[in-house]
């Protein structure tokens, strides 16, 4: 998936096998540079094992992990991996798809997460099975809440775990937003 400034590249099973802290191996596998400070928060061995388990179980890779790669241009000589975004899997029986994102601190507050999440939402709603997109976070993470709100998600109540809040965007609300854009 391409956005204005990013490439969201689907992670293969082979790339999921790379240790999260091995930026050099990741750079070789993707053929791009990896930003200093890699990996982003929540991209640890447990998360990688979860993604790999899903892939091994036959979940289509496009419904899982994507590398957020800042494309070359505007003073950037080479593509650079700056974070991870993706889905927790394909739509469930109710049509729900959940998204997640983690951008390296040096690249936060620049709109990259919002840009990536908007692309994930657009791609999700291109699938007729998807009736809503959800995301969860801690209520004290104002930047994460801001991403969700900028992308049109609305507070839906408590999340799946204690202290977590859930935001959702329905297909009808998304379509109304798209129709209202010039």
Using pLDDT thresholds of 50, 70 and 90, give the confidence band for residue 73.
Answer: confident
Express each pLDDT in 121-131 by its tens digit. Answer: 999 999 999 99
* Spatial separation of the C-alpha atoms in residues 108 and 112, rounded to whole Å: 7
pTM: 0.94
Q: What is the mean pLDDT of residues 55-61?
A: 95
Can you give the residue ranges of every domain in the chain? 6-180
At residue 109, the 3 state secondary structure works out as: coil
What is the band of 179 on the pLDDT scale with cuts at 50, 70, 90?
confident
Give the pLDDT confidence score for residue 29 in this predicted structure. Answer: 95
Average pLDDT of the chain?
94
| 3-class SS of residue 44 | coil
The arithmetic mean of pLDDT across residues 63-82, rounded, is: 91
Q: At residue 37, does pLDDT exceed 80?
A: yes
Separation between Cα atoms, residue 135 and residue 164, nearest integer Å: 10
Among 3.40.50.2300, 3.40.190.80, 3.90.1150.10, 3.40.630.30, what is the CATH number of 6-180? 3.40.630.30
Going 135 to 141 to 145 to 148, the CA torsion angle's sign is negative
> Is pLDDT of 182 > 80?
no
Q: Mean pLDDT check: name the lowest of 15-19, 24-28, 54-58.
A: 15-19
Residue 75 has pLDDT above 80, yes or no: no
**What Å distances lie between residue 74 and 30, 109, 118, CA to CA?**
21, 18, 21
8, 67 contact by CB (below 8 A): yes
* Residue 59, both tokens: 């979940």
Average pLDDT over residues 54-74: 94
> What pLDDT digit, counting tens, does each position of 128-165 carry?
999 999 999 999 999 999 999 999 999 999 999 999 99
């Amino acid at each position: 998936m391409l956005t204005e400034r990013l490439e969201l590249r689907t992670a293969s099973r082979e790339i999921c096998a790379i240790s999260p802290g091995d930026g050099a191996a990741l750079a070789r596998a993707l053929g791009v540079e990896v930003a200093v400070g890699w990996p982003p928060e929540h991209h640890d061995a447990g998360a990688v094992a979860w993604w790999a388990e899903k892939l091994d179980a036959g979940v289509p890779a496009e419904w899982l992990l994507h590398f957020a790669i800042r494309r070359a241009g505007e003073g950037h000589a080479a593509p650079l991996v700056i974070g991870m975004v993706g889905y927790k899997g394909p739509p469930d029986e109710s049509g729900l798809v959940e998204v997640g994102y983690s951008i390296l601190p040096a690249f936060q507050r620049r709109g990259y997460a919002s840009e990536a999440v908007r692309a994930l939402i657009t791609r999700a709603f291109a699938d007729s099975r998807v009736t809503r997109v959800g995301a969860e976070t801690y209520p004290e993470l104002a930047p994460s809440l801001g991403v969700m709100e900028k992308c049109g998600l609305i507070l839906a109540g408590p999340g799946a775990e204690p202290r977590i809040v859930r935001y959702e965007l329905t297909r009808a609300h998304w379509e109304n937003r798209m129709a209202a854009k010039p």
